[in-house]
Amino acid sequence: MQLQLTSPLDMHLHLRQEGMLQNVAPLSSKSFNGALIMPNTLPPITTKEMLLAYKKEILEATKEDNFTPYMTLFFNSSYDYDFLKSLKNEIVAIKLYPAGITTNSEGGVAAFDIEQLRPTLEAMSKLDIPLCIHGESNGFVMDREAEFIPIYKQLATAFPKLKIIMEHITTAASAKAVLEHKNLYATITLHHLYITLDDLAGGMLQPHLFCKPIAKRPEDREALLNLALNAHPKVMFGSDSAPHPKSAKEAPGCAAGVFTAPIALQALTELFEKHNKLENLQAFVSDNAQKIYKIFPPKKEVVLVKKEYTVPSSYGDVVPFLANQTLHWSIQ
């Protein structure tokens, strides 16, 4: 038994820099045809020069595959129309982080004052540049995503022509909200389709399952599964694969991030098969994203075969999601 996927895309990917990038980028390009590259590097990507240099670094690391890095800028309310226009052909989206909400987001937006953000968001709207948002408040960890929903709604209403992507949604509340505004869309990760807070902290504590937003309740996962397995046109796959060295995960002050890139397609296939929804996987991992972002990736066929595959215990010094577990699908 096999499944052919055409041009799979990962619409939320952290490739990091230097040695880590050399380690992880080829693992994404083996599975995926392209990915939306997150800009929260150190320092974050905020200029054309940085963007082009980062893109070059990624292309070099993935040169054995036909891989397209869809680049993003780190949102900054000083970006004006002319600056964004000059970058229109280089970027696919701009990523907005509330300040301090996740890895390397210290330079993010501290207060959601629509008037202060308006010039940049209007320019993006005119230039048809989507806005990706890590939507969490600074409230109690289980409430942060739900507390951010009014801001999504306010932005969606104030900028009706701006495409807004609710990144890595984790709650039933977000799964509902994305359907309520025409210009809201969402990415869903692999791990939030697999785990709940129980997997992180219900038995022993599992630092390799610690991520932001934190995995939520079983009913939240159900709501995400409902959208993903049916490949609702408002949602697409974004792994949020976020590698950290083992030493940063297995210690007090463990960094947030689950590394899923090399096993994401295999695990998604297993999940969709389990729910008898294999026919929707193509849309979830590629077609929906192409329509939402208006991107046209070069054609690449990835064939998954029903053959047991044991996930390695690590890739370099990074421990992947489902390490040492056996999946029933492999990439041919």
Residues 205-224 that bind its own copies (CB under 8 A): 205-208, 210, 214, 217-218
213 cis-preceded (ω within 30 degrees of 0): yes
3-state SS, residue 261: helix
- Closest approach, Cβ 108 to its own copies, in A, equals 15
Residue from 20, 151, 254, 295 in contact with its own copies (CB under 8 A)? 254
Residue from 256, 278, 305, 331 in contact with its own copies (CB under 8 A)? 256
Identify whether 240 is a catalytic site residue.
yes
CA atoms within 13 A on the CB side of 34: 20
Residues 133-172 that bind its own copies (CB under 8 A): 140-142
3-state SS, residue 9: strand
Separation between Cα atoms, residue 243 and residue 241, nearest integer Å: 6
Nearer Cβ to its own copies (39/257) = 257
CA atoms within 13 A on the CB side of 78: 5
Q: How far is Cα of residue 66 from the mean position of the Cα atoms in its chain?
A: 20
CA 272-235-197 angle, 5° bins? 65
Q: What binding mask, one character per residue, do residues 187-206 give for its own copies by CB under 8 A, x or -? A: ---------xxx-xxx-xxx
- Closest approach, Cβ 197 to its own copies, in A, equals 6
| Residue in 128, 143, 199, 240 annotated catalytic | 240
Of 109, 268, 92, 138, the C-alpha closest to 190 is: 268
Residue from 251, 274, 279, 298 in contact with its own copies (CB under 8 A)? 251
The residues binding its own copies (CB under 8 A) are 140-142, 196-198, 200-202, 204-208, 210, 214, 217-218, 250-256, 319
What are the residue numbers of the active site? 240
